[in-house]
Amino acid sequence: MNAPSSTAQLQPEAHQRAVPAALIEALKARFGERCSTALAVREQHGRDESAYTTVPPPAAVVFAEGTAEVAEAVRLASQHAVPVIPYGVGSSLEGHLLAIEGGISVDVSRMNKILSVNAEDLTVTVQPGVTRKQLNDEIKSTGLFFPIDPGADASLGGMCATRASGTNAVRYGTMRENVLALEVVTASGEVIRTGTRAKKSSAGYDLTRLFVGSEGTLGVMTEITLKLYPLPEAISAAVCSFPSIEAAVRTTIQIIQMGVPIARVELIDANTVRAVNAHSKLSLREEAMLLMEFHGSPAGVQEQAETVQEIAAEFGGQAFEWASTPEERTRLWNARHMAYFAGLQSRPGCRAITTDACVPISQLATAVVESVAEVEASGIPYFMVGHVGDGNFHMGYLIDPDSASERAQAEQLNHQLVQRALRLGGTCTGEHGVGLHKMGFLVDEAGVGAVEMMRTIKRALDPQNIMNPGKIFSL
């Protein structure tokens, strides 16, 4: 493990490549008003939900309406060796959308059609601008659902790009497990397909999973085939308060080790409960809390719930409250999904530096308890939420964006937290991606040789380095 290097990327320096006027003219000629150079549009596309200060925005934004248009935009950019940054809804937390080397943004949010639902096969094919909520709304009548739910109502293209997960991953897996096939525009503007609708395959290199998690650096995804799941016959959700974060974490560990097929098990700390209560007008008990959900047959759900209540009781869990109507459940999970924004609002004007470590479940209590002790000692306001069934937790350090010292302090806390997670056999990022922020951590985690292999693949597939350059690793 090397010396800290992540803080070097904290304020990404702009190494802007020239965007020739000829490219802008060609894009305007092809796309008309759907190629915008308006400052407001460019600025909106040059930032995301991360805590980065702005770098110069992209030189133009192309609103693509289909695969052929994405391919044309990429081919034009390729002719001029100009960077292309794919854009969905802008919910990245890691600076993925910043035009740190200049270039153009290709906005796929208008590619928001569900192309085909194969209910009998439990699959759906969508365009990349479809958001997770839109997908579930539109397939409601089929009796199926798509479980992956990052906090934001992210686009499915963005979720593929970051290998996203969320609260249901403990049972249903992440985007890694739930993408069957892709259509991709490569860095040269060619259109290829990866995978089929078959549930499994041994047909050559797993290009699907090479693109899932590639953060826009290898191409633009233009069609995505996903697994769906039958809506469970019975669903039951509950909250349970614990005397300490550690007690909640130990309860989770035991649930997982016993093989209970729990659908969701989320930890929020007392700070977050307070913020969520204020934001969503709830009256949850302001202690560390697990939010849980059980899916299955009525008898199966009851059995799981009983097992979990027994485990929780051993660790001092109390006030098990059940949300059994769909409305109560929706309210509860919306509150959970608003935790990030509720946390932000708890310190007006702040920005959050968000950690994303994920560790083997046996190490989770150590990882969480030591990290909480450190932030408590620092005095930096924070909140903590966790997809703890997967060993993944987020600390949000709430900093004054104008305070260099708070920022440095938060980065130091993040650094210590990540190095701890790596020592414990974990990863620096469970679901947000590397982006700009974790490039140093990636080297610490994967080693120089593995990162060099990633670079070799990138150079081979994108020799001009035009696809979202400067993310994941520097070239």
Q: How many H-runs (helices) and E-runs (strands) does the chain carry?
A: 17, 18
For 137, 140, 168, 234, 474, the CA distances from 294, given in Å and listed in that order, are 21, 20, 10, 8, 43
Give the residue among 343, 189, 325, 219 at the shortest CA–CA distance from 276.
343
Closer residue to a copy of itself (CB): 10 or 359: 359
* Closest distance to a copy of itself from the beta carbon of 179 (Å): 11
* Closest distance to a copy of itself from the beta carbon of 330 (Å): 22
Closer residue to a copy of itself (CB): 390 or 406: 390
Closer residue to a copy of itself (CB): 143 or 349: 143
Q: Do the Cβ atoms of 83 and 39 come closer than 8 Å?
A: no
* Closest distance to a copy of itself from the beta carbon of 212 (Å): 7
* Closest distance to a copy of itself from the beta carbon of 210 (Å): 6
Q: Do the Cβ atoms of 104 and 83 come closer than 8 Å?
A: yes
* Closest distance to a copy of itself from the beta carbon of 54 (Å): 24
Q: 360: helix, coil or strand?
A: coil
Closer residue to a copy of itself (CB): 63 or 172: 172
Q: Do the Cβ atoms of 187 and 467 come closer than 8 Å?
A: yes
* Closest distance to a copy of itself from the beta carbon of 76 (Å): 19
Q: Do the Cβ atoms of 222 and 117 come closer than 8 Å?
A: no
Closer residue to a copy of itself (CB): 233 or 376: 233
Query: Which residues lie below 8 Å from residue 22, measured CB to CB, with a gap of 6+?
Result: 80
Closer residue to a copy of itself (CB): 336 or 437: 437
Closer residue to a copy of itself (CB): 14 or 461: 461
Closer residue to a copy of itself (CB): 406 or 462: 462
* Closest distance to a copy of itself from the beta carbon of 382 (Å): 22
Q: Which long-range contacts does 52-55 make (Cβ < 8 Å, 24+ apart)?
A: 52/11, 52/12, 52/95, 52/98, 52/436, 53/11, 53/401, 54/98, 55/12, 55/14, 55/98, 55/99, 55/100
β strands within 127-243, DSSP E = 144-145, 179-186, 191-194, 219-227, 229-230, 234-242
Enumerate the H helices of 239-347 as residue ranges: 245-257, 270-280, 298-314, 326-337, 339-345
* Closest distance to a copy of itself from the beta carbon of 165 (Å): 6
